[in-house]
Homo-oligomer: A and B are copies of this chain.
Amino acid sequence: MRFSVSSFLAVFFYFRRVKKERPVILVTNDDGVTAPGLHALVEAVQPLGDVFVVAPDSPQSGMGHAITINNLLRLDKVGMHGETQWHQCSGTPVDCVKIAIDKILHRKPDLCVSGINHGSNSSINVIYSGTMSAAMEGAIEGIPSIGFSFLNYSLEADLTGPKKFARVIAKNVLEHGLPEGTLLNVNIPNVPYKEIKGVKICRQAMAKWEEEFDERLDPNKRKYYWLTGKFKNYDHGEDTDEWALANGYVSIVPVQFDFTAHHAISFLNKLNYDVEKIS
């Protein structure tokens, strides 16, 4: 009797420990809870740990690092798929990460992954991207974090390649961590899986959008505008994400949330800030 109780406890604690050691992985995105890219990312990381999804209840593309200050937030469980709990939140991608930690996980996850975004977040797009801002929020919380994006806007796109690379990169980050204060911006080129040449670690290309607003008239003859634009890459370096993607490589850019331009400090120290002289 005594032997069998202790055996039972030993087995119980063994399994509990094994279970506890599985990493907790938070998955979010900016295309919303129904996006195929989110489902693909869940499948990609499911073998690596216990997966929790907390994603926006509607598309949040271009939300950048927006947070919901002046409105309330809703958070609803939308069910279990296999072992994975799915939740949707009425807020932005950054809100999703914040509320997941405080209200769903009650701890920091071991990994935070965002995406797979339907469309590029290379170069300057990192700034506008809700996908990347969710990952950045994870990094600010001290969680190893990665944003994944696929250079194909179609919701019907074949996600085989993106899924495979998401898994290998997530596994690496779970095993080795990331340097303090950094996260990863991963973009996958729009070529069939077998044609992807490999992975390149890159810097963010100096590129931008040249905007043109499309001017229209509403039925009441009042003007309104749509934001449109053309992407322009001004950077000819072969160490950039744009170069890697154009040449069939998956690009990984390490990103930091310390935005200080240290090289500009000495320039600024030479200027004169005497308020009384100017006024």
A-side residues, CB < 8 A to B, are 59, 61-70, 72-75, 91-92, 94-95, 98-99, 101-103, 124, 126-128, 133, 136, 140-141, 164-165, 167-169, 171-172, 176, 178-179, 181-182, 184, 198-199, 201, 203-204, 206, 208, 211-213, 215-216, 222-227, 250, 252-265, 267-269, 271-275, 278-279
Contacts and interface: CB of A to CB of B under 8 A. Distances in A.
Contacts of A103: 213, 215, 225
Nearest to A258: B204
Contact of A224 (B69, B72, B181, B204): B72
Contacts of A70: 59, 61-62
A133 B250 CA distance: 28
A172 B140 contact: no
Nearest to A259: B255
B226 A265 contact: no
B225 A73 contact: yes
Contacts of A61: 69-70
B259 A126 contact: yes
Q: Tell which of A73, A167, A171, A181 has the most Cβ of chain B within 10 Å.
A: A73
Contacts of A92: 66
Contacts of A94: 64, 128
Contacts of A95: 227
B227 A128 contact: no
Contacts of A179: 261, 263-264, 267
